[in-house]
């Protein structure tokens, strides 16, 4: 089977491995996998040389495929399924899976669209942890795939104002398609002034960090939130002890929410339902589809934010 490994910073190698034996478990052959923003640091940053090569398939986690052998599960050979790999090893062709890590998908659907179930489920898990957004103002920091899905869910949840913030114009255009009432380019104007103007000086009831990795963005979330507002963190911060402006957080009496672990039994079924009934249109996210053999090119495009990429999908 085909498998991809990050062998050094910025380099992925396709290798051939033996197809695993499933026994009583489920053997799944992948048809699609997507590159997530959280995958990129493992590709683009330099870790301890002893870390390389990373395990086969790591750190992929957005994937779907067909059941090759159902084992003792309730699935049948040929069933289309989402697979949620506990080992974050989606960048390989075959997987031995527990039934609890699978979600049946309807036959005949657009596989690229169905694949977004994983990411939307993760975003939904965070959205469910927020105060009710109904009739509130929401600022979403970052208009990548995660931020765009937050924009759509906040509108679905009844927010009166959703503002998307991103320095890339094409992503702001996608945010408008996803339902953003206003967009702000932080490289062109002051985000704080823009949010103050849009909210009549009140600032945002909810600020969502869909970017992560930068302390400056976290602190900007504190600045943009109104007194007694809520700040939610979805984007992963790579700093163990970021330099937070604690006094701003403290004196505004803000509330902080973090989210990282979706509930397979709740969040993913909800996400699939929202996609199937068209409540969330994920088509603006999907910009690139490449053969799995071109995973190196795919990571290069995503890490460099080239060619107006938003979401890149790999075909097995």
Which tens digits make up the pLDDT trace of 118-130? 999 999 999 999 9
Q: Mark whether 186 and 291 lie in a shared domain.
A: no
Does the residue 165 lie in any domain? yes
Position 242 pLDDT exceeds 80: no
Inform me whether the pLDDT recorded for 238 exceeds 70. no
pLDDT value for 190? 97
Q: Note whether residue 270 is domain-resident.
A: no
How far from the centroid of its chain's Cα atoms is residue 71's Cα? 31
- For Cα atoms 187, 190, 193, give the angle at the middle one, nearest 5 degrees: 160
Residue 54 lies in a domain: yes
DSSP E strand boundaries for the chain: 2-8, 11-16, 26-34, 62-69, 80-83, 94-97, 102-104, 137-141, 161-165, 182-184, 204-209, 225-233, 255-258, 286-291, 311-315
Half-sphere exposure of 300 (CA within 13 A, CB side): 7
Mean pLDDT of 174-199: 98
For residue 29, is pLDDT > 70? yes
CA distance 186 to 180: 16
Please say whether the beta carbons of 30 and 97 come within 8 A: no
Cα separation, 278 vs 69, whole angstroms: 32
The candidate with the shortest Cα–Cα distance to 203, out of 139, 157, 151, 246, is 139
* 213 has pLDDT over 80: no
**What span, in angstroms and rounded, lies between the C-alpha atoms of 136 and 184?**
18
* Same domain flag for 134 and 201: yes
Q: What is the pLDDT of residues 164-179, one digit of tens each?
A: 999 999 999 999 999 9
Tell whether 272 is covered by a domain.
no
Q: Kindly state whether residues 244 and 140 are assigned to the same domain.
A: yes
Residue 297 and residue 207 in one domain: no
Is the domain of 236 the same as that of 192? Answer: yes
Return mean pLDDT, the chain.
Answer: 96
DSSP state of 259: -
- For residue 235, is pLDDT > 80? no
74: containing domain: 2-116+282-315
- Residue 163 and residue 189: Cα distance in Å, rounded? 14
Once rounded to an integer, what is the mean pLDDT over residues 75-88?
98
pLDDT over 90 percentage in the chain:
92
Q: How far is CA 212 from CA 79, 128, 258, 279, 316, in A?
A: 36, 19, 11, 27, 30
Q: How many domains does the chain have?
A: 2
Average pLDDT over residues 111-119: 98
Q: What is the CA radius of gyration of the chain?
A: 20
What CATH number is associated with residue 174?
A: 3.40.50.720
> Is position 263 within any domain?
no
């Amino acid at each position: 089977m085909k498998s991809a490994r990050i062998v050094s910073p910025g380099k992925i190698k396709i290798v051939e491995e033996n197809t695993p034996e499933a026994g009583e478990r489920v053997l799944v052959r992948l048809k699609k996998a997507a590159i997530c923003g959280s995958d990129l640091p493992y590709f683009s940053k330099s870790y301890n040389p002893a870390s390389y090569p990373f395990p086969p398939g790591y750190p992929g986690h957005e994937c779907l495929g067909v059941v090759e052998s159902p084992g003792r599960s309730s699935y049948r050979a040929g069933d289309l399924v989402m697979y949620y790999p506990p080992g974050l090893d989606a960048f390989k062709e075959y997987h031995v899976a527990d039934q609890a890590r699978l979600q049946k998908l309807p036959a005949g659907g657009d596989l690229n669209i169905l694949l977004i179930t994983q990411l939307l489920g993760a975003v939904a898990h965070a959205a469910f942890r927020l105060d009710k957004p109904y009739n509130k103002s929401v600022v979403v920091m970052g208009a990548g795939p995660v931020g765009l899905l937050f924009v759509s869910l906040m509108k679905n949840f009844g927010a009166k104002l959703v503002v998307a913030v991103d320095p890339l114009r094409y992503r702001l255009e996608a945010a408008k398609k996803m339902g953003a009432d206003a967009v702000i380019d932080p490289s062109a104007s002051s985000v704080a002034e823009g949010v103050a103007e849009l909210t009549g000086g009140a600032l945002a009831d909810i600020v969502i960090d869909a970017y992560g990795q930068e302390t400056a963005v976290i602190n900007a979330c504190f600045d943009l939130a109104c007194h007694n507002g809520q700040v939610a963190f979805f984007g992963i911060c790579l700093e163990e002890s970021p330099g937070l402006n604690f006094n701003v957080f403290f004196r505004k009496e803000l509330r902080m929410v973090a989210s990282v672990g979706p509930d397979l039994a709740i969040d993913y079924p909800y996400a699939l339902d929202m996609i199937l009934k068209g409540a969330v249109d994920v088509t603006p996210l999907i910009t690139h589809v490449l053969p799995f053999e071109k995973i190196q090119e795919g990571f290069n495009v995503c890490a460099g934010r080239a060619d107006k990429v938003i979401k890149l999908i790999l075909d097995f």
